[in-house]
């Protein structure tokens, strides 16, 4: 068994509640070894995990089984100031050959040997900040860090729908540079909203949606992406029945 305590500190607050690791009889899904995040009425700085990508960021403890040595933990930091520091500490003994790396999604930066370092981040007042912690053998940590960096888009973007013209369905792709509230909405040419395809906090990455328009009339429509930092992209598509 091994455990790693993740510590988050800002100028006026600390949060040392998050723990990740592996133990006998644990599994990758939700179970008794995982702990939901505490209710935060005052909106203090917090760390949340997503249980190996299977749920929302609702847990402060993600303990997995021993069947895999390598793995990636997704963490979301909330209610941050203009600067914060993240560090880690072992609880008990760690395997001799285990390595840790931390991937800063917003800064597109990797810090290896995370167990022995404090990572200080200038935040630019983002309220949500995503990181990934990679644990395993040295080759896995290094290769997965580079794979994660290469998968992060270089900007917020909205692709042209395909096919276009379409009837009655079409695909819409978009890219998210960093964790942000993102919406993708459909409007007619009079500016009236006819559908909401996406409206939630979204991690950095590439996404594809399907728009089904069987209830709409033939004509042109506008689809628009709006990200929380003021990014707006719009494109036109045509429905032909």
Residue 41 has pLDDT above 70, yes or no: no
Residue 51 has a pLDDT of: 87
Q: Residue 173: which of 145, 204, 209 has the closest Cα?
A: 209
- Cβ neighbours of residue 63 closer than 8 Å, sequence gap 6 or more: 3, 19, 20, 21, 22, 23, 26, 33, 34
Contact 9, 38 (CB under 8 A): no
Length of the chain: 241
Least confident of 65-69, 72-76, 225-229: 225-229
- Cβ neighbours of residue 9 closer than 8 Å, sequence gap 6 or more: 15, 45, 84, 85, 86, 87
Residue 38 has a pLDDT of: 80
Residue 125 has pLDDT above 70, yes or no: no
Residue 104 has pLDDT above 70, yes or no: yes
Return the percentage of the chain with pLDDT > 90, whole number: 73
Cis peptide bond upstream of 168, omega within 30: yes
Residue 44 has pLDDT above 80, yes or no: yes
Q: Specify the DSSP element, H or E, that contains 150.
A: helix 138-151
Q: Residue 184: which of 200, 167, 166, 204 has the closest Cα?
A: 200
Confidence class of residue 42 from pLDDT cuts 50, 70 and 90? low
Residue 2 has pLDDT above 90, yes or no: yes
Positive or negative torsion for Cα 148, 150, 152, 158? negative
Residue 226 has pLDDT above 80, yes or no: yes
Q: Residue 8: which of 47, 61, 62 has the closest Cα?
A: 47
pLDDT tens figures, 91-101: 999 999 999 99
Least confident of 8-12, 107-111, 122-126, 140-144: 122-126
SS3 184: strand
Looking at the chain, which runs of residues are DSSP E strands? 2-10, 14-22, 35-36, 46-49, 59-64, 71-78, 83-91, 99-104, 109-112, 119-122, 128-136, 157-158, 169-176, 180-188, 193-202, 205-212, 219-227, 232-239
Q: Residue 93: which of 3, 18, 6 has the closest Cα?
A: 3
Residue 193 has pLDDT above 80, yes or no: yes
Q: Taking residues 53-62, what's their average pLDDT?
A: 86
Q: Taking residues 107-112, what's their average pLDDT?
A: 92
Q: Taking residues 152-180, what's their average pLDDT?
A: 95
User: In whole numbers, what is the pLDDT of the chain averaged over residues?
Assistant: 92
Return the percentage of the chain with pLDDT > 70, whole number: 98
Confidence class of residue 199 from pLDDT cuts 50, 70 and 90? very high
Confidence class of residue 9 from pLDDT cuts 50, 70 and 90? very high
Q: Taking residues 233-241, what's their average pLDDT?
A: 97
179, two tokens: 């964790």
Bridge partners (DSSP) of residue 215 are: none
């Amino acid at each position: 068994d091994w455990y790693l305590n993740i510590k988050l500190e800002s100028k006026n607050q600390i949060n040392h509640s998050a723990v990740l690791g592996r133990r006998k009889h644990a599994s990758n899904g939700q179970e008794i070894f995982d702990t939901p995040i505490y209710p935060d009425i005052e909106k203090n700085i917090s760390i949340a995990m997503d249980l190996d990508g299977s749920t929302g960021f609702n847990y402060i403890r993600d303990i997995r089984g021993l069947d895999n040595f390598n793995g990636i933990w997704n963490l979301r930091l909330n209610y941050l100031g203009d600067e914060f520091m993240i560090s880690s500490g072992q609880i008990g003994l760690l395997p001799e050959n285990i390595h840790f790396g931390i991937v800063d999604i917003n800064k597109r930066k990797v810090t290896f040997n995370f167990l022995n370092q404090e990572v200080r981040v200038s935040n630019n007042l983002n309220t949500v900040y995503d990181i990934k912690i990679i644990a395993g053998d040295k080759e896995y940590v290094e290769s997965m860090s580079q794979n994660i960096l290469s998968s992060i888009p270089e900007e917020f973007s909205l692709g042209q729908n395909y096919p276009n013209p379409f009837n009655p369905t079409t695909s819409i792709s978009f890219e998210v540079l960093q964790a942000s509230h993102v919406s993708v909405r459909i409007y007619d040419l009079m500016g009236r909203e006819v559908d909401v395809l996406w409206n939630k906090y979204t991690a950095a990455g590439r996404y594809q949606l399907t728009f089904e328009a069987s209830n709409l009339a033939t004509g042109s429509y506008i689809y628009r992406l709006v990200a929380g930092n003021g990014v707006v992209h719009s494109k036109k598509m045509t429905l032909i029945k």
